[in-house]
A and B are shown apart, each in its own frame.
Chain A
Amino acid sequence: MSRPAHRRPEYHKINKDLFVLTYGALVAQLCKDYEKDEDVNKYLDTMGYGIGTRLVEDFLARSCVGRCHSYSEIADIIAQVAFKMYLGITPTVTCNNASRNEFSLILDKNPLVEFVEELPTGRSSLCYCNLLCGIIRGALEMVHLAADVTFLQDRLKGDSVTEIGITFLKKLDEKKYRRKK
């Protein structure tokens, strides 16, 4: 078998509009189901978490990235490899504090909000792309890294850019999985 060591499999492409419209329909339905913005945000985050725990395996299987040795490496990989692979965009990474565990991903172009003009009245604190936060949080937890992921700035709310903040908390203990038999 003469295969190169890192084989990139073929991606199955689907129509981007279909994906963006599906996401929009999802958020719209959640808005109909729940009155409060916090509830919608919370459920988007939970759904994202479920997606993230599974997506991370697909990401690791297809991208062949090795073990990271620092939080800034992880933030770089999320921005440059993961976002590129799944959304086709490359956010820029900035580090927010001296202890190097808070990072921001700045998205200047967000494909998910392509058809959204503005948030509906009465929904001013809705985080439209909160699914992304949940996905990042779920994915990091599966590689034993606890993190808090939130939107720091959102173009839909009037800010100039969309900024996702990732705060790495204490590293999850791997040993607890060995004791469970």
Chain B
Amino acid sequence: MAIFSVYVVNKAGGLIYQLDSYAPRAEAEKTFSYPLDLLLKLHDERVLVAFGQRDGIRVGHAVLAINGVDVNGKYTADGKEVLEYLGNPANYPVSIRFGRPRLTSNEKLMLASMFHSLFAIGSQLSPEQGSSGIEMLETDTFKLHCFQTLTGIKFVVLADPRQAGIDSLLRKIYEIYSDFALKNPFYSLEMPISMKLKAEEAGA
């Protein structure tokens, strides 16, 4: 999937819509027997691999699921602590899935407001008057495209660096936004959008 995510940021810098559509490429599931030869530690409400990298499980990967059931931060789905559960030899053999930790929604909110500020700094740093803000941010694994409307709403798309046609995608997303979000009489402007229709259209 060449488009990784879509973010919509309002005038004040708050995230009002977010859609992720990438399949994480680095995930590994293995069965372990007691004792666990990886060193796990708790960091930022997640259980991460601190040492013992092997077989596709790298340092920094988080525990995503135990025995097929997704974990919830540092607790399993039944509410037990992950580290405690894995310290108990009676629970073994256990199958654990590791992978690159996904961003939580709070982190996404924070990143969106940081991007909003950087966008403003971008336009102020410009040697020319009346410059636009950041339009594209490029790294070796993705390209971030940003389109700011005349009303101050920013549409941000993270895509594969080789993906073309993102400008027309951004315009199309703007049209979808104006159709689904704005024409809903019960939607207040600048508030988070939670519409399934919009998600389907955006995914299409």
Contact = CB atoms under 8 A, between A and B. Distances in A.
A32 interface: no
A3 B165 CA distance: 9
B189 interface: yes
Interface stretch (A34-42, A56-64, A147-155, A157-165): A56-64
Contact of A58 (B120, B171, B178): B178
Contacts of B165: 1, 3
B168 interface: yes
Interface residues of A, number: 24
**Range, interface on chain B:** 20 to 34
A180 B12 contact: yes
Interface string A1-40: 1010101010000000000000000000000000000000
A53 interface: yes
B171 A181 contact: no
A23 B175 CA distance: 26
A171 interface: no
13 contacts: A1-B164, A9-B175, A54-B183, A57-B153, A57-B174, A57-B178, A60-B149, A60-B174, A67-B150, A144-B152, A174-B152, A180-B13, A181-B13
Interface of A: 1, 3, 5, 7, 9, 53-58, 60-62, 64, 67, 142-144, 174, 177-178, 180-181
